[in-house]
Structures are given as structure tokens and as C-alpha cells.
């Protein structure tokens, strides 16, 4: 069966370069061209682009920004970045951000043709993997799993109700409860799911770059602003902007953000004209914003503007009845991903997992299951496979007269001591020296925390 002719989009501001690249590829591909990322992006969907060949250095939206947007919104498109001169640092960054390859524009035309051919093959392979994953119930890790808990049912009911509206949603919840996943779900169910979903983690950007990342900047507006840059607010135009860790936003930017939301306009740093942009805003935070407002670190007016539709994701320990479904789901996911034959988890082990307090919530559960599936070599995960802390929790449950904090501290101390003992081959004298405590102290603690008995029980 003859393969469909693939479509290649060439983005380059330089007319000659664009023409030359197109000439090279025209024989084997349907080639479309754009002089800028801004004019190229709308073609991605409309023209069904398979492979993107884009210049690193561009005015406006830079090459790396373009790369990130395409990666986020068109996961099946393969990207080859080009540059006029060799640029090792740029190449490394591009590849890290998910580009397929990096070439200088004066490379042999055959090299480029070969690269595009391989990129196309990789795309086919990727599509194939996704089809298989889909069949195995794994849609690339983005589906939102729910169990029987009412806490989450309420959340999803709200989400289904408001997804199609353009109203701002504020997602609250501890770390690892699925805030980002929920934001993506909201976007997928929005009136315009094909529009861009632009995610910004405010806490992950260096302080001095937050403003220009969000609002963009004009060339030369500050030292280091060598090129004009489009901000995330502009990029999200027509789509969804997800502002993660909103509680970390500095107060001057809080004011700018408020203005941007209220007026639907932003101004680039060093820019003189307002730029219109309209997007659905989803904000998330794992701190208590109300508290931050009281403390004076978060603007009250912004808080009210964000808090239009608050959605609180409950911690896993408060919806522990969902744990079996989630555990099963992750076992299937990682079994398929690692080509293992792990089928499930023993009921008694699920019970042990349910007694744990899961400070890292679903992320912690997912990481645990990933590790377990990777190492076990039998069909069902059993109690012995579970790490030490879960056995400790079981032991602590017996002593119901102690507070949760005491039990948590006991667990931590016990884990810590056992790891130290293991490291020192259970030689108590050596371990005491390693920990920098008198031998008598260590012995006392081991006695009090029932470490020997527990270790014996687990090791059997």
C-alpha cells in the first residue's frame, strides 16, 4: 500500500532559505511555507502538517517557543530545527525540548531529505505506538481516572458543567492531586479543544523572566532581550492559558495579570501598544490563597477575579476508596509500557496501601506502582513487594492511642534507622557511629521502635 504523501511545513523568515528548503523537499513531499511562526501555526491543523522544518532564529515567536507549542498541541508532528550557522547549544536545547533533529541550512540537500524521511517514519511509528497504547487503555498518560468516591464525582460534575463556558476556573489541591491533568481535561472539553493549551508554571520560571515570559517583550527592552518575544498570554489567544502555582506570582505581576484578564489586553515589556488577547484562564495552586490574601501576599481583587469557579481536588487520603481503581489503572499502564505481565495487586496489599497517608497523593501512588511493576517478576503484586513504610504503617495502626503526627514521626524515624542499619550490615556499633549517636541511644530507639522484630518479620 502506497503511503500517503506527507505534508511538510517550512517556516523561515528568509525568502531564499525558505525557497531553497522547499525546492529540496518538493520532489517527495507536499510542501507549504510560512515566513513566521505566527503565520505558520494556524496552518498546522488546517493543512494537516506531518513534519515541521523551522528556523531557530525568528523575530516574534522564537524558534524554541514555537517548538514547545507544537510539541504541546500537535504531539504527532515531528520537528526539525534549522539554523544558518552551527549552534551546538541551540541544538541541544531543541532536542531536549523534543525536536527530532537539528541541521544547518547549508547542509547537503540529501541530508535534509534523509532527515525528513526519517522524521516521517518516526511519526508513523509514534502513531502506531499510540494506537497500541489506546488499545491497551493508555492514551499517553493524559486521561483522568475516577473511582467511586463522591469527592471527585462532585468535582467532575462541576467540570462538565463549566467546561464549555469561558469562565475562569481556580483549581486548588495538594501537590500531586491531579491539578494539571484536570486543567487539560477542562481544555479538552472546552468549546474549542483544538485551540492552543498553553501551560505556564509560575514557580518554575526564574523570577526575573516571569514577566517577559507571560507578557512578551520587545527587542532591546532590557539587557538580554535580543529579539522580540511573544508572551504566553498572546500565545493562548483563542485557547486556554493554564497558570500553575499562581500563588508564587509577585505582587507587581499580580496587578498586571489582573489588568490583562479584566481588559483582555496585554502590553509587552518595552512595548507601547496594547495587544488584544482572549483566552480561558485556569489557575492552580497548592497553597491556601485565602490565607495568602489575609497575610497580604496575594491581592484580594485578583483572588476574587480568579475564584469565579473554584474546584478543590481532594487529597488521596480523603478519597481512598478510589485507590483500587487508580492502582489497577497504573498497573495496566506500566505493565504495557514495560512489556511486563503484571496483572494486578493482592487485596491485602491494596488494604495496606489504603492505610498510608499519601503526602504526595496520586503522583506518589503512580511512582510507587511504576517502580513495583518494573521490579516484580510475578503476576500479582503482594505484601512482600511493598516497601518498608507500608509495613510500618500497618504496625502503627495497632497503636491507636497515639496521634497521627506521632505515628508519622515514628514511621519516619524507623525508616531512617532501618536504612542506616541496612547500610551498615545491621552492625549496631557501626551504625551508631555512622549516625553520630551513642550506642545506648541507638539501642534504646531500636527497642522502642520495635525495629528488630519488624525487620525479622519483613525479611522472614
Ligand X SMILES: Nc1ncnc2c1ncn2[C@@H]1O[C@H](COP(=O)(O)OP(=O)(O)OP(=O)(O)O)[C@@H](O)[C@H]1O
Q: Which does 363 bind (CB under 5 to 8 A by kind): Mg ion, ligand X, none?
A: ligand X
* Cell numbers describing residue 11: 517556516
Grouping H, G, I as helix, E, B as strand and the rest as coil, residue 323 is helix
218-247: which residues touch Mg ion (CB under 5 A)?
244
Contact region with ligand X (CB under 6 A), list: 30-38, 78-86, 359-367, 436-444: 359-367
Our CB check for ligand X shows the closer of 213 and 286 to be 286
Our CB check for ligand X shows the closer of 210 and 243 to be 243
Asked if 303 and 289 touch (Cβ cutoff 8 Å), the reply is: yes
364 is a contact residue toward Mg ion (CB under 5 A): no
Contact region with ligand X (CB under 6 A), list: 100-108, 174-182, 219-227, 294-302: 174-182
Our CB check for ligand X shows the closer of 45 and 288 to be 288
The residue number whose beta carbon is nearest to ligand X equals 178
Our CB check for Mg ion shows the closer of 184 and 407 to be 184
CB of 151 to ligand X, least distance (A): 12
CB of 287 to Mg ion, least distance (A): 12
Out of 254, 277, 286, 349, which residue is the one contacting ligand X (CB under 6 A)? 286
How many residues interact with ligand X (rule CB under 6 A)?
15
Partners of 141 in the β-ladder: none
CB of 445 to ligand X, least distance (A): 33
CB of 176 to ligand X, least distance (A): 5
Out of 176, 231, 247, 314, which residue is the one contacting ligand X (CB under 6 A)? 176
180 is a contact residue toward Mg ion (CB under 5 A): yes
What is the spatial distance between Cα 251 and Cα 288, in angstroms, rounded to a whole number?
16
Closest CA to 14 of 36, 29, 32: 36
The dihedrals phi and psi of 125, each to the nearest 5 degrees, come to: -65, -45
Our CB check for ligand X shows the closer of 268 and 319 to be 319
Q: Which does 177 bind (CB under 5 to 8 A by kind): Mg ion, ligand X, none?
A: ligand X
CB of 242 to Mg ion, least distance (A): 9
Sort residue 176 into left (φ over 0), alpha (ψ -120 to 50) or beta: left
Out of 122, 340, 363, 433, which residue is the one contacting ligand X (CB under 6 A)? 363
Q: Write down the residue that cell numbers 520560571 correspond to.
A: 205
Asked if 80 and 114 touch (Cβ cutoff 8 Å), the reply is: no
Q: Write down the residue that cell numbers 512489556 correspond to.
A: 339
Out of 63, 173, 314, 410, which residue is the one contacting ligand X (CB under 6 A)? 173
Question: Residues with Cβ < 8 Å from 67, sequence gap 6 or more?
Answer: 54, 79, 81, 94, 97, 98, 99
181 is a contact residue toward ligand X (CB under 6 A): yes
Show contacts of 3-8: CB within 8 Å, 24+ apart: 3/124, 5/29, 5/30, 6/30, 6/50, 6/51, 6/120, 6/123, 7/31, 7/32, 7/47, 7/48, 7/49, 7/50, 7/51, 8/32, 8/49, 8/50, 8/51, 8/52, 8/53, 8/116
What is the spatial distance between Cα 348 and Cα 331, in angstroms, rounded to a whole number?
16
Contact region with ligand X (CB under 6 A), list: 39-47, 360-368, 409-417, 422-430: 360-368
Our CB check for ligand X shows the closer of 146 and 221 to be 146
Contact region with ligand X (CB under 6 A), list: 44-52, 105-113, 170-178, 368-376: 170-178
CB of 300 to ligand X, least distance (A): 23
Asked if 61 and 32 touch (Cβ cutoff 8 Å), the reply is: no
Residues contributing to the site for Mg ion (CB under 5 A): 180, 244
Amino acid at each position: 500500500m502506497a503511503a500517503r504523501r506527507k505534508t511538510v511545513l517550512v517556516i523561515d523568515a528568509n525568502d531564499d532559505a525558505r525557497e531553497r528548503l522547499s525546492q529540496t523537499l518538493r520532489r517527495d513531499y507536499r510542501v507549504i511555507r510560512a515566513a513566521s511562526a505566527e503565520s505558520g501555526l494556524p496552518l498546522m491543523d488546517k493543512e494537516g502538517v506531518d513534519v515541521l522544518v523551522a528556523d531557530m532564529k525568528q523575530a516574534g515567536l522564537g524558534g524554541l517557543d514555537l517548538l514547545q507549542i507544537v510539541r504541546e498541541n500537535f504531539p504527532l508532528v515531528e520537528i526539525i530545527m534549522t539554523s544558518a550557522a552551527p549552534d551546538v547549544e541551540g541544538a541541544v536545547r531543541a532536542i531536549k525540548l523534543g525536536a527530532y533533529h537539528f541541521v544547518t541550512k547549508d547542509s547537503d540537500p540529501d541530508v535534509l531529505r534523509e532527515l525528513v524521511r526519517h522524521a516521517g517514519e518516526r511519526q508513523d511509528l509514534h502513531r502506531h505506538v499510540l494506537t497500541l497504547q489506546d488499545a491497551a487503555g493508555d492514551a499517553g498518560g493524559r486521561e483522568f481516572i475516577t473511582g467511586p468516591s463522591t469527592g471527585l464525582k462532585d468535582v467532575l460534575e462541576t467540570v462538565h458543567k463549566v467546561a464549555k463556558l469561558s469562565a475562569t476556573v481556580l483549581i486548588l489541591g495538594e501537590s500531586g492531586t491531579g491539578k494539571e491533568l484536570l486543567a487539560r481535561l477542562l481544555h479538552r472539553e472546552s468549546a474549542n479543544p483544538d485551540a492552543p493549551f498553553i501551560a505556564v508554571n509560575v514557580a518554575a520560571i526564574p523570577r526575573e523572566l516571569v514577566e517577559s515570559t507571560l507578557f512578551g517583550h520587545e527587542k532591546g527592552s532590557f539587557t538580554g532581550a535580543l529579539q522580540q518575544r511573544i508572551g504566553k498570554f498572546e500565545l493562548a489567544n483563542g485557547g486556554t492559558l493554564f497558570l500553575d502555582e499562581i500563588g508564587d506570582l509577585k505582587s507587581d505581576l499580580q496587578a498586571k495579570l489582573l489588568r490583562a484578564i479584566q481588559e483582555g489586553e496585554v502590553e509587552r515589556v518595552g512595548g507601547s501598544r496594547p495587544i488584544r488577547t482572549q483566552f480561558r484562564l485556569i489557575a492552580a495552586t497548592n497553597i491556601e490563597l485565602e490565607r495568602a490574601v489575609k497575610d497580604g501576599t496575594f491581592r484580594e481583587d485578583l483572588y476574587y477575579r480568579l475564584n469565579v469557579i473554584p474546584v478543590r481536588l481532594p487529597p488521596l487520603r480523603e478519597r481512598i476508596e478510589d485507590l483500587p481503581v487508580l492502582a489497577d489503572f497504573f498497573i495496566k499502564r506500566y505493565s504495557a509500557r514495560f512489556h511486563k505481565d503484571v496483572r494486578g495487586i493482592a487485596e491485602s496489599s491494596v488494604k495496606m496501601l489504603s492505610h498510608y497517608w499519601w503526602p504526595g497523593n496520586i503522583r506518589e501512588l503512580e511512582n510507587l506502582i511504576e517502580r513495583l511493576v518494573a521490579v516484580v517478576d510475578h503476576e500479582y503484586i503482594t505484601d512482600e513487594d511493598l516497601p518498608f513504610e507500608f509495613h510500618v504503617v500497618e504496625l502503627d495502626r495497632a497503636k491507636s492511642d497515639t496521634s497521627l503526627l506521632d505515628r508519622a514521626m515514628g514511621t519516619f524515624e524507623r525508616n531512617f534507622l532501618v536504612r542506616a542499619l541496612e547500610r551498615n550490615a545491621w552492625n549496631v556499633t557501626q551504625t551508631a557511629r555512622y549516625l553520630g549517636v551513642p550506642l545506648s541511644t541507638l539501642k534504646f530507639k531500636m527497642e522502642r521502635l520495635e525495629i528488630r522484630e519488624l525487620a525479622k518479620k519483613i525479611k522472614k
